[in-house]
Amino acid sequence: MVEQAKEHFEVYATYLTRKPPLNDSRTFQVDKTNQQSIMALFQELKPEVAIDTAALHNVDYCETHREEAWKVNVEGTKTVAEACKRHDARMIFVSTDYVFDGVKGDYTEDDDANPVNYYGLTKLEGERAVARICSKYLIARPSVIYSYVASTRLESSSGKPLNFTMWLTQKLRNNEPVKIVTDQYSSPTLADDLAEVLLKLANSERIGTYHTAGRTRLSRYEFAVKIARKLNFDEKLITPTTTDQLKQVAKRPMDSSLSVEKIEKDLALRAPTIDEALDRFSQQFFEVEIR
Ligand SMILES: NC(=O)c1ccc[n+]([C@@H]2O[C@H](COP(=O)([O-])OP(=O)(O)OC[C@H]3O[C@@H](n4cnc5c(N)ncnc54)[C@H](OP(=O)(O)O)[C@@H]3O)[C@@H](O)[C@H]2O)c1
């Protein structure tokens, strides 16, 4: 996102432990739970727009580390919102499709949130804090974010693989069989597409909540098979399973797919289909792998 943002903005990036590979000094190490350092950073940079993507995002880890999850996803988000308010900055908070219970699917921004796990609950509380504290706020809800990047460290500090597609391609490359659920549905979102939409929102005067996902609803199994085919891996390594059999620690919403009608209408754009996005994903993959 930083590279895309540079075309329109003077950009400063932050990280916690995984320093982004940027070739300049505009990168700051900051912990969003540290109120003093967040306030000091805002005082120094005085941003016009702050895009908050930082979260404890490992769903199973959040379920068993509730205090830590609340501290980052709720308290930390409140701190960023307060800093935005103090400096009259526009805040874009990246939330999640996991604020929904997954009963209905194809959720619009008017549907009621009702998270089924602790991660979803903390992100929803984060959303509420942002809306309460900031007047110039945007809440962006993507779903299953993916990308292919060159990275030496594939796990975040809460032990989550960099993303589902990085995890999957690593397994398939090593000829390791994987079991993927056929009964969890979502709207996978290519990170570059999300970045583009977030920057359009940043450039707009819009306020409120937007679903910023890919246009196609599909099961995690269908998604995995499409990736294997696109990248010429052996799709027989992917075995279908069900949520009941997988026994994940935290409960999952079964269909958290998102309607993108509102963002398409308000920003006059068209969200990419899964096949369009996977074309770009495979380009990223082959560029990184051929290098
Ligand atoms: N991944 C998905 O499928 C998905 C779907 C919907 C929404 N989201 C949301 O999208 C956003 C981006 O998540 P991501 O999963 O794509 O991966 P990501 O950008 O790698 O994850 C979030 C980042 O937050 C950082 N972080 C954790 N605790 C922090 C703290 N106390 N202060 C500052 N930074 C902290 C992590 O740093 P370390 O790497 O050092 O741990 C990690 O780099 C999150 O807000 C997430 O809730 C993700």
Residue 97 has pLDDT above 70, yes or no: yes
pLDDT for position 2 = 74
Q: What is the pLDDT of residue 156?
A: 66
Structure tokens at 261: 């009608």
What's phi and psi for 2, nearest 5 deg?
-60, -45
At position 47, the amino acid (one-letter code) is P
Q: How many helices, marked H, and strands, marked E, lie in the chain?
A: 12, 12
- Residue 19's pLDDT is 81
Distance CA 77, CA 63 (A): 18
Residue from 44, 132, 125, 39 nearest 86 by CA: 39
Percent of the chain with pLDDT over 70: 95
* Residue 138 in this model has a pLDDT that exceeds 80: yes
Give the pLDDT of residue 157. Answer: 65
Which pLDDT tens digit goes with each residue over 186-240?
Answer: 999 999 999 999 999 999 999 999 999 999 999 999 999 999 999 999 999 999 9
Please, what is the average pLDDT of the chain?
A: 93
Q: Which has the closest alpha carbon to 57: 75, 72, 44?
A: 72
Residue 7 pLDDT: 76
Cβ(143) – ligand 1 distance below 6 Å? yes
Ligand 1 centre to CA of 236 (Å) is 31
* Residue 91, strand partner residues: 50, 137
Each residue of 42-96: pLDDT tens digit?
999 999 999 999 999 999 999 999 999 999 999 999 999 999 999 999 999 999 9
Whole-number pLDDT of residue 271 = 97
- Find out whether the beta carbon of 90 lies less than 6 Å from any atom of ligand 1: no
Nearest CA to ligand 1 atom 25: 54
Report whether pLDDT(25) > 70.
no
Sign of CA pseudo-dihedral 120, 126, 130, 132: positive
Is 34 a residue whose pLDDT tops 90? yes
Cα separation of the two ends of the chain: 21
Interval 123-133 mean pLDDT: 98
Report CA-CA distances (Å) from 20 to 1, 2, 13, 264, 290: 11, 10, 8, 30, 21
Q: Does 80 sit in the ligand 1 pocket, CB within 6 Å? A: no
Closest residue to atom 16 of ligand 1, CA basis: 145
Q: Is residue 160 pLDDT above 70, yes or no?
A: no
Q: What is the mean pLDDT of residues 37-41?
A: 97
Write the CB contacts of 104 (distance below 8 Å, at least 6 apart in sequence).
111, 255
Type of residue found at 271:
A
Distance 15 CA to ligand 1 centre (A): 10
Say if ligand 1 is within 6 A of residue 33 CB. Answer: yes
What pLDDT score was predicted for residue 23? Answer: 65
Is the confidence at residue 116, as pLDDT, over 70?
yes
pLDDT bin (cut points 50, 70, 90) of residue 153 is low
| pTM listed for this prediction | 0.95
Q: Are strands 189-190 and 145-146 parallel, antiparallel or unpaired?
A: parallel
